[in-house]
């Protein structure tokens, strides 16, 4: 058990010192507690004694910034480059010293073990004055993960981020993760894509909608990944930020069936390349190659086309990723098993499919109608 080893003793510098003996790593160590008065030194010593009795005292002086830098270095080896960049950006918003070592950073300079929920609350409230609620939530999620790791390493006794909640203002509408296109919007969009002059961008959008691919997965396809006889494609890489990476997760590497109408257009598209090249495109060529053929299309090209087309059709704003949302939602709406949809979309967990990509469509909403009088009708005898 921790114990005080002496009464407050006045030092030459005018401060008072109390010595405390506490257990640490299987042995007893002595520490000194200082105060401007004897009463202050004794009070501080008793506070340390109480923490030590609860197993909450640590002499570790690792700062928040120091621990975060080590955490980021580890995570850089575990996630995709763009994800690591997002982590650095989000944490840089709350820890300025990550970007500039000379920048004032009250939280970053604080020892990890001394951070309290009040410090986190103040930090996120300040961030909320400068950034959107989504950004604040992302920053909180990163901080929570960091302190959770520190907790598992027994550097701190509780996660100070856990009790801090982020709620949107009452008058702020809750943003949707995405939306699914209605059937009439799908029909209008496909017709417009078929009529577009550049089959590369148009077909990349159709493939995302027809197969539930992520944009980077579609642009990362090579002809060796597309089996036009069997009618399937294999997702084995992704393209973004001018880099080729592995798929987002281990379940993202998958084989996806290509619907009949889209398969016919892919075959016609391969013939289009044969006319341009004089031969069929080689197996290692990008399916949606850019103008110089050695790289895929510019990453933003499909989004620019989608914006122009939907605006011309009078369809409310649609992101490229909403085409993937639509794929999952329409599969579920037509009775596909949740596990199958999750597998097709490359999700690690079916709950992700259900919670993020399931959006009730207008024709479904109209189907969920019940007349109270129908409830009063006697049930037919079996």
Per-residue pLDDT tens over the stretch 250-294: 788 999 999 999 999 999 999 999 999 999 999 999 999 999 899
Question: How many domains is the chain partitioned into structurally?
Answer: 3
* Domain residue limits at 97: 64-152
Do 223 and 287 lie in one domain? The reply is yes
Confidence at residue 382, expressed as pLDDT on a 0 to 100 scale = 44
**Same domain as 204, residue 94:** no
Same domain, 311 and 341: yes
Is there a single domain that holds both residue 146 and residue 293? Answer: no
pLDDT at 353: 78
Nearest to 80 by CA among 173, 227, 217: 217
Same domain for 248 and 358, yes or no, is yes
Residue 382 belongs to a domain? no
Q: Is 94 found in the same domain as 236?
A: no
* Overall average pLDDT of the 64-77 stretch: 91
What's the pTM value of the predicted model, to 2 decimals?
A: 0.63
Is 252 contained in some domain? yes
Assess whether 68 and 49 both reside in one domain. no
Long-range Cβ pairs for the range 248-253 (8 Å, 24+): 248/80, 248/214, 248/346, 249/346, 249/348, 250/348, 251/343, 251/346, 251/347, 251/348, 252/214, 252/217, 252/346, 253/346
Read off the CATH number of the domain in which 354 is found: 1.10.443.10
Same domain, 318 and 209: yes
One domain for residues 135 and 214: no
Q: Is the pLDDT of residue 370 over 60?
A: no
Residues 111, 148 share a domain: yes
> Three-class SS string for 152-172?
HCCCCCCCCCCCCCCCCCCCC
- pLDDT tens by residue, 312-323: 999 999 999 999
Q: How many CB atoms lie within 10 A of CB 19?
A: 16
Q: Which of 53, 74, 95 is the last residue of a domain?
A: 53
Domain boundary among 111, 131, 152: 152
pLDDT of residue 82: 77
Q: Is residue 92 part of a domain?
A: yes
Structure-block tokens of residue 235: 């997702």
Q: Is the pLDDT of residue 206 over 50?
A: yes
Tell me whether residue 48 is in a domain: yes
Handedness of CA 313, 318, 319, 324 (dihedral sign): negative
38 and 108 assigned to the same domain: no
Judgement on whether residues 240 and 325 belong to the same structural domain of the protein: yes
Find the largest Cα–Cα distance for the chain: 98
């Amino acid at each position: 058990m921790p114990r005080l080893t002496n009464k407050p003793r006045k030092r030459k510098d005018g401060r008072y010192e109390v010595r405390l003996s506490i257990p640490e790593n299987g042995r007893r160590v002595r520490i000194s507690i200082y105060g401007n008065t004897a009463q202050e030194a004794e009070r501080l010593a008793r506070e340390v004694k109480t923490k030590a009795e609860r197993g909450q005292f640590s002499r570790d002086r690792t700062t928040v910034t120091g621990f975060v830098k080590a955490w980021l270095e580890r995570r850089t080896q575990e996630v995709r480059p763009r994800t690591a960049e997002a982590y650095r950006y989000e944490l840089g918003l709350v820890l300025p010293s990550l970007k500039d070592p000379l920048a004032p950073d009250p939280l970053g300079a604080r020892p990890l073990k001394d951070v309290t929920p009040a410090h986190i609350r103040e930090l996120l409230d300040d961030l909320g004055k400068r950034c959107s609620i989504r950004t604040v939530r992302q920053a909180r999620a990163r901080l929570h993960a960091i302190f959770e790791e520190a907790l598992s390493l027994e550097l701190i006794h509780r996660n100070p981020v856990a009790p801090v909640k982020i709620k949107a203002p009452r008058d702020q509408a809750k943003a949707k993760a995405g939306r699914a296109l209605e059937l009439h919007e799908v029909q209008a969009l496909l017709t417009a894509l078929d009529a577009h002059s550049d089959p590369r961008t148009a077909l990349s959008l159709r493939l995302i909608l027809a197969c539930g691919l992520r944009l980077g997965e579609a642009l990362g396809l090579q002809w060796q990944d597309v089996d036009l006889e069997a009618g399937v494609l294999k997702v084995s890489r992704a393209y973004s930020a001018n880099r080729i990476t592995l798929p987002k997760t281990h379940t993202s590497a998958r084989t996806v069936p290509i619907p009949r109408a889209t398969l016919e257009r892919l075959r016609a598209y391969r013939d289009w390349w044969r006319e341009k090249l004089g031969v069929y495109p080689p197996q290692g060529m990008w399916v949606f190659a850019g103008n110089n053929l050695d790289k895929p299309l510019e990453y933003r090209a499909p989004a620019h086309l989608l914006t122009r087309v939907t605006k011309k059709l009078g369809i409310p704003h649609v992101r490229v990723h909403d085409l993937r949302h639509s794929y999952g939602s329409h599969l579920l709406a037509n009775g596909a098993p949740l596990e199958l949809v999750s597998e097709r979309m490359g999700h690690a967990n079916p709950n992700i499919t259900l919670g993020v990509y399931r959006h009730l469509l207008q024709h479904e909403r109209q189907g969920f109608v019940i007349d109270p009088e129908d409830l009063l009708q006697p049930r037919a005898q079996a």
